[in-house]
Structure 1
Amino acid sequence: MMEIAKVRQDFPILFQTVNDEPLIYLDNAATTQKPKQVISAIENYYAHDNANVHRGVHTLSERATKQYEEARETVRAFINAASTKEVLFTRGTTTSLNWVAQGFGDQVVEAGDEIYITALEHHSNVVPWQQLAKRKQARLVYLPLTDEGSVDVAAAQTVISSKGKILAVTQASNVMGTINPIKELAALIHAVGGYIVVDGAQSTPHMTVNVQQLDADFFAFSGHKMSGPTGIGVLYGKEALLEQMTPVEFGGEMIDFVYDETATWAPLPYKFEAGTPNIAGAIGLKAAIDYLNEIGMTEIQEHEHQIMRYLLPKIQEIAG
């Protein structure tokens, strides 16, 4: 079992008092605190290996590039993507979802098509689809929920039509904590030739994620919600769909050749990573994943279930 006292020792920020009381931090849905292993990994990069990636042949650049790509492989294994070509580093879940809405949604959605979301979504998984619907004169449809607060698959089956192009849904609600049946929803939208986009910001830190098993077309999450640094996130996409998708940011690193009037793009995953990336962020994210893996995702999920079993009855005793 997880040794909570031992885990707490890994978080330097908890070694302080606030309002004359030992700090207890409960705002993890907004952002998580960082263990010393993550802080050390970032500090070590800046102290010993700071250089730009992919562009230099000198020792520091080679070391930085190696660590950056090792981070990509760590992410690939953590979510069970088929290839590192399917793992794009972004600024976070919000950026990832906007990339899909603009770079992919603009290609596949036409006037009169339907885009499905739910009332459970974070604004980051609502507004990009609202904007896409406006741009394309498509219809935004909210899928019905069960009384328990997850997507009603049976009802969704009657709502999703042949006009359906994109279903954007959270795997775990940041408000309700409910877990949505992603695999079943993926089957429904795939049956009409559409695509599923999954917001994994709140699920990836708390449970084992297997994007291939879920059959997710796109899957987004953020480092800062899983004990990693801010400003780093991931967009997973099936390789064939990422080949089809167009970049929404342009500049160095993501180009192959630049001519007077046009340019060609670098191969996946670099096609989408314009400019100097958040190298330290990726290295910190790797350290965070290593840390979570050391504790064990099954252990983390079971500990949360224990807390919930303890907490819910006590909350229900409070009037109102």
Structure 2
Amino acid sequence: MNIPTYEDMLAAHERIKPIIRRTPVRTSDYLNDLTGCNLLFKCENMQEPGAFKVRGACNAVFGLDEAQAVKGVATHSSGNHASCLSYAAMKRGIPCNVVMPKTAPQAKKDTVRRYGGVITECEPSTTSREATFAEIQAATGGDFVHPYNDPRVIAGQGTCSKEFMEQTDGLDVVMAPIGGGGMVSGTCLTLSTLAPETQIIAAEPEQADDAYRSFKEGHIIADDAPKTIADGLLVPLKERTWHFVSKYVSDILTASEEEIIEAMKLTWKHLRVVMEPSSAVPLATLLKNKERFAGKRVGIIITGGNVDLDKLPWTKGV
């Protein structure tokens, strides 16, 4: 199994610097008072495609040799990876085919198409997603850029934590949402070398808690079709992400649907940034466990901001 290294992350950062944004770090006095700690938010929702996944996607796309690039890239994704891979492919001028569940937010489908990605829809389950993708890849010959179980993607995601540490005076804890574990793995990859004293805590919805259960049981547990408002966290861990999660993550905390929505509302109102439900999960779990973080400097990665403004969760209920 090819596991990316710290040197791979550094090489990825040099490769993608001209394409991605060095996103800002934001704070809120209100949220600091509410939580009893010093919160610093790394705003990956402000990337051009609206999510951190542009880092791994660009690293994969711009690392292809010319012979493979002509055939393009292909993937399956609930939304943000599809958008970001389409964006990276557009920047390089190569084709991109993506398989997306029928239930993916329309805003994310629209973004994929805006960047030139060709969508094939599937049923909202891991089984359907992977079966449909196999057909598309066989037909197109595109290089498979897995949303998270890919060393190029993990190395690219690790560049976020590198920037985060450069933009702050050190952090006691870094928190990120976890689905398949790409961002968390990249965070582990970087911080285990750059800041090994910093705790890494992952956050997950209670209704899609397979990473939490995997962490507690000591082996990968995969749910086929979980349902949660945090649509970016529906996929299970894979062997490469499990390598990092099992080795470097301090804990995985969970939050209910209601707690996720409340945290999302708080950040929209007081941090004044647009974030999607998946990105609100870390704050939701922190609010639930405030005593654990009291007085600490806590970095939270806002992973994405692609939302359907006609279907905001607090206007529809859970």
TM-score w.r.t. length of structure 2:
0.29
Structure whose CA Rg is larger? 1
TM-score w.r.t. length of structure 1:
0.29
Structure with the larger helix share: 2
